[in-house]
Amino acid sequence: MNKKKNKQENNEFQETLRTNEYKNLTFTIILVRPEHSGNIGSIARVMENFNFNNLVIFNPIESVDNILSYETQGFAMHGKDILSNTKIIEIKKQDNHLTEFKTLLGTFDYVIATTARGKSYANIRRLAIFPEDLTLPISVKPLKIAILFGKESRGLTNEEISLADILLRVPTNSEYSALNISHACGIILYEIFKKINLLTISRGEHPVLLADRKDRLILYNIIKNIIEKLKIRSYKEENVFLAFKNIFGRSLMSTKELSLILGLFSKVNSILENLNLYEKKIKQN
């Protein structure tokens, strides 16, 4: 028996290797208005467990001194380097919170929000899928993905969630669904870790170029125009739009797929525009 060879194979087996499909994905964990430094330290620890290195703390309620304290480093354990390299964004005027948040998310290609709710179909903004059902993009170019967690007491607001492409919820006991934020983060990162290191989810032998956020926004604007032209009852307009946005957000469209869909919706929009002009001329006559 070749002990040296066995040891080498064992070491290789124990290594964590990113699959080729997901090698261009970069993940950033964003904590929005965190309230407790201990949870921040615990999240840094669980990030180290699953090899996620980028942490952003946005507009924290907890003080920066407490976030970077020796006690918080104790919670972080081997994730102390993640904690010390954390980007902390403080907002002086709270009226600017949402504007600054939009600016931050604009630097990412894909945004994943999280919620402890999302069980009811009454609020279409909070229609959530389970982490294990998440399909991650396969891209030939670098792709920056943000994963959002809200403050411990109330989570992300509807406005913050509306800026994301997809919403995740961890399945729990219906009688007590609220997880500690670090536990929820650990479960979600574990599911993603398995996907990008162990499982291969592909649309063929060659990865596809994914549509970026700017291109998707063009499609969303055209859909809004179509909905307005169809004269749907005003109280349903937003829900119809959000339904389309949710579907396309989950689909992870390629640039080719988006081009075809964009062409179709643009044609529909053009036909409706001409029809409206025709109706106006008839009324004028």
Banded pLDDT at 98 (limits 50, 70, 90): very high
Tell me how many degrees the CA angle 240-242-245 measures, rounded to the nearest 5.
115
Asked whether the predicted pLDDT for residue 278 surpasses 90, the reply is: no
pLDDT for position 125 = 65
Residue type, 10: N
Q: Using the 8-state DSSP alphabet, how is residue 203 labeled? A: S
Chain centre to alpha carbon of residue 187: 15
In this prediction, residue 181 carries a pLDDT of 96
pLDDT (tens digit, 9 = 90+) per residue, 162-175? 999 999 999 988 88
Q: What is the pLDDT of residue 121?
A: 53
Rounded mean pLDDT, 104-116 = 95
Across 203-224, average pLDDT: 78
pLDDT of 15 reads: 53
Give the pLDDT confidence of 198-212 residue by residue, as tens digits: 543 444 455 567 788
CA angle centred on 253, ends 248 and 254, rounded to 5°: 165
From 244, 252, 246, 247, select the one nearest 268 (Cα to Cα): 244
109 or 137, higher pLDDT: 109
Of 1-10, 26-35, 144-153, which range is least confident?
1-10
Q: What is the pLDDT of residue 19?
A: 85
Q: Which residue has the higher pLDDT, 132 or 120?
A: 132
Q: Inform me whether the pLDDT recorded for 11 exceeds 50.
A: no
